[in-house]
Amino acid sequence: MRVALVHDWLTGMRGGEKVLLSLARLFPDATLFTLLHVKGSVAPELEAREIRTSFVQRLPGVARHYRSYLPLFPAAIASLDLRDYDLVISSSHCVAKGARRRPGALHVSYCFTPMRYVWDLYDDYFGRGAGLLTRMLMPPLAARLRRWDRAEARTVRFAGLSRMSTSRVLLQPLAAHPLRAPARARIPRAGAAHRLLAPRPVASTRPAAPPAWCRGP
């Protein structure tokens, strides 16, 4: 059985890429497909794999400004040639779930979250802080991407990181929680209680206020 692993983009080693690494270890002979790959940006085990990219890889300035090409991503992911594969496994936070399998093949998509920037966090990305042209162009584009998101979720075997994150695109989503990585940091127990909140410095993970568990009694 030939297996393809599809991931949105390979530009850094974050949580999604760690899940991809686990999948790659489960399927050591699988080919990796992605919109674009910045060489040297992910774990050596992934860098050593055969990695096939879409036409996005050849666009100007894509390594730094790939998010600017968002309108092209649905077409780019659909252009990946997966005809030779019996099983397609996509790990998706953007468009990877839109990869096209051949008739008779199975596509299982593990969704970390739908496109947050066109759903509940639209204003954080494209609100007052965005340029005038962006604010003018994004409403119809975001609406089209939301329709695409819902439609694609119904064409594959779909599992999500949590029921909350996938309820936007599925009425009855299946949740499949990832394994926890071993703790790499130890917080001293002596003295006052310590709580560490360290999300990525992007709009989607920056809390407006510390959650209840972080505020203490």
**pLDDT tens digits for range 77-104:** 999 999 999 999 999 989 999 999 999 9
Q: Determine the Cα–Cα distance for residues 110 and 157; give it in Å rounded to an integer.
A: 9
Cβ count within 10 A of residue 28: 9
What is the average per-residue pLDDT within 113-124?
Answer: 80
Q: Determine the Cα–Cα distance for residues 2 and 14; give it in Å rounded to an integer.
A: 27
Amino acid 204 reads S
Confidence of residue 170 (pLDDT cuts 50, 70, 90): low
Q: Evaluate if residue 140 carries a pLDDT over 80.
A: yes
Pairing of strands 106-111, 31-34: unpaired
What is the average per-residue pLDDT within 25-53?
Answer: 96
For all residues of the chain together, what is the average pLDDT? 81
What is the average per-residue pLDDT within 172-187?
Answer: 50
- Cβ within 8 Å of residue 65, ≥6 positions away: none
For the stretch 25-34, pLDDT in tens is: 999 999 999 9
What is the average per-residue pLDDT within 56-82?
Answer: 94
Q: In this structure, what token pair is assigned to residue 199?
A: 């999300």
- pLDDT, residue 173, reads 46
Q: Is 164 exposed, middle or buried (CB count within 10 Å of its CB: 0-12, 13-18, 19+)?
A: exposed
Q: What is the pTM for the complete model shown?
A: 0.76
Q: Are 35 and 66 in contact (CB under 8 A)?
A: yes
Q: Evaluate if residue 128 carries a pLDDT over 50.
A: yes
Which residue ranges form the domains of the chain, and what is each CATH number? 3-166 (3.40.50)
Q: Evaluate if residue 59 carries a pLDDT over 60.
A: yes
